[in-house]
């Protein structure tokens, strides 16, 4: 399983991006055609698990504009909501999901999100 590294200064991540990052980190590397085997199935499972976590209060979905608690975090509204990186890191550790590395300053701030192969 890969770990997840975020750009320096990232405090919140969009819910739909979180499901992608976890699924990509949990799947084997892309094959010759660029397809990650099993990605779609894993992303669906991760999406349901994280959606349920928001529903029961294990994760806090926030309005992306105000960062206040989201009043109705379901469906498309949830996909657009954001979650705090620190809260997400703790949730991932408690539930055996890929590690989210501490955010460190990159030499090139335009480097963006990356996945790193665990050794």
The pLDDT score that the predictor gives to residue 118 is 42
The torsion angle over the Cα atoms of residues 100, 48, 52 and 117, rounded to 10 degrees, is -10
- Asked, for residue 118, whether it belongs to a domain, the answer is no
The pLDDT score that the predictor gives to residue 33 is 83
Residues in contact with 26: Cβ distance below 8 Å, sequence separation at least 6, in sequence order: 1, 2, 42, 46, 97, 98
- Asked, for residue 5, whether it belongs to a domain, the answer is no
- Asked, for residue 110, whether it belongs to a domain, the answer is no
The pLDDT score that the predictor gives to residue 119 is 35
Residues in contact with 90: Cβ distance below 8 Å, sequence separation at least 6, in sequence order: none
Residue 65 host element (H or E): none
- Asked, for residue 58, whether it belongs to a domain, the answer is yes
The residue segments making up the domain with residue 38 are 11-95
Of 7, 16, 113, 6, which Cα lies nearest the Cα of 64?
A: 16
The pLDDT score that the predictor gives to residue 38 is 86
- Asked, for residue 114, whether it belongs to a domain, the answer is no
Per-residue pLDDT of the chain (119 residues; tens, 9 = 90+): 788 988 888 999 999 999 999 998 898 777 788 788 888 899 999 999 999 999 999 999 999 999 999 998 899 999 999 999 999 999 999 999 999 987 666 555 555 555 544 43
Enter the pTM of the model: 0.78
Residues in contact with 64: Cβ distance below 8 Å, sequence separation at least 6, in sequence order: 12, 14, 80, 81, 82
The number of distinct structural domains making up the chain is 1
Residues in contact with 44: Cβ distance below 8 Å, sequence separation at least 6, in sequence order: none
- Asked, for residue 1, whether it belongs to a domain, the answer is no
The pLDDT score that the predictor gives to residue 114 is 52
Three-class secondary structure of residue 82 per DSSP? strand
C-beta of residue 82 within 8 angstroms of C-beta of residue 12: yes
Give the separation between CA 109 and CA 43, rounded to whole angstroms: 27
């Amino acid at each position: 399983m890969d770990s997840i590294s975020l750009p320096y200064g990232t405090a919140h991540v969009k819910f739909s991006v979180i499901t992608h990052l976890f699924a990509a980190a949990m799947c084997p590397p892309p094959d010759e055609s660029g397809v990650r085997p099993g990605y779609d199935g894993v992303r669906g499972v991760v999406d349901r698990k994280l959606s349920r976590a928001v529903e029961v209060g294990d994760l806090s979905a926030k309005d992306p504009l105000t960062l206040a608690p989201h009043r109705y975090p379901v469906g498309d509204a949830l996909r657009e909501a954001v979650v705090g990186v620190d809260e997400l890191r703790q949730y991932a550790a408690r539930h055996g999901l890929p590690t989210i590395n501490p955010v460190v300053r990159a030499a090139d701030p335009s480097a963006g999100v990356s996945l790193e192969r665990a050794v």
